[in-house]
């Protein structure tokens, strides 16, 4: 059994490798559900100067676990985590991942545009 939390491990790797982080907010949410930790505690521990990009996605919920499947819209608790991430790290390039059961472009585009409401007004560029 590991003596480190996932975020402590991430921080150690980032420090030793002197690299940036692609922060997968949906994956943090999924892991928090599967392993019983507070996802905001995870975000609070991420070194802010290292976050280069954020990923958002949907997931699938099964009887005993949650799986990061990238095949559904982003749910409200993940948007809430994204909002917290933006408060911590500032406006950060963000990618919506949708790899399976892909709806029409207009639906995917509308989902991606939801991220704008979490950005400071000065950070939102025209489409």
59 near 69, Cβ under 8 Å? yes
CA atoms 120, 26, 30, 108: torsion sign: positive
Given a cut of 60, whether residue 125 has pLDDT beyond it is no
Using one digit for the tens of pLDDT, what is the confidence trace for 76-89? 999 999 999 999 99
Alpha-carbon distance of 60 to 17, in angstroms, equals 33
Domains annotated for the chain, with CATH where assigned, are: 6-119 (3.20.20.150)
Instruction: Note the pTM of the prediction, 2 decimals.
Output: 0.89
Alpha-carbon distance of 83 to 68, in angstroms, equals 19
For the chain, the average pLDDT equals 92
Task: Count Cα atoms within 13 angstroms, Cβ side, for 2.
Answer: 7
Q: What is the structure's pLDDT at 120?
A: 79
What's the farthest any 2 CA atoms get from each other in the chain? 49
Average pLDDT over residues 57-66: 93
Using one digit for the tens of pLDDT, what is the confidence trace for 2-22? 689 999 999 999 999 999 999
């Amino acid at each position: 059994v590991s003596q480190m939390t996932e975020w402590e491990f991430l921080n150690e790797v980032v420090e030793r490798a002197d690299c940036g982080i692609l922060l997968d907010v949906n994956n943090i949410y999924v892991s928090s559900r599967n392993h019983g930790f507070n996802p905001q505690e995870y975000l609070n521990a991420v070194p802010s100067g290292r976050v280069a990009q954020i990923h958002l996605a949907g997931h699938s919920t099964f009887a005993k676990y949650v799986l990061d499947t990238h095949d559904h819209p982003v749910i409200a608790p993940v948007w809430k985590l994204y909002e917290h991430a933006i408060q911590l790290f500032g406006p950060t390039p963000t990618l919506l991942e949708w790899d399976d059961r892909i709806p029409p472009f207009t639906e995917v585009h509308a989902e991606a545009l939801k991220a704008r409401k979490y950005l400071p007004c000065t950070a939102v560029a025209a489409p």
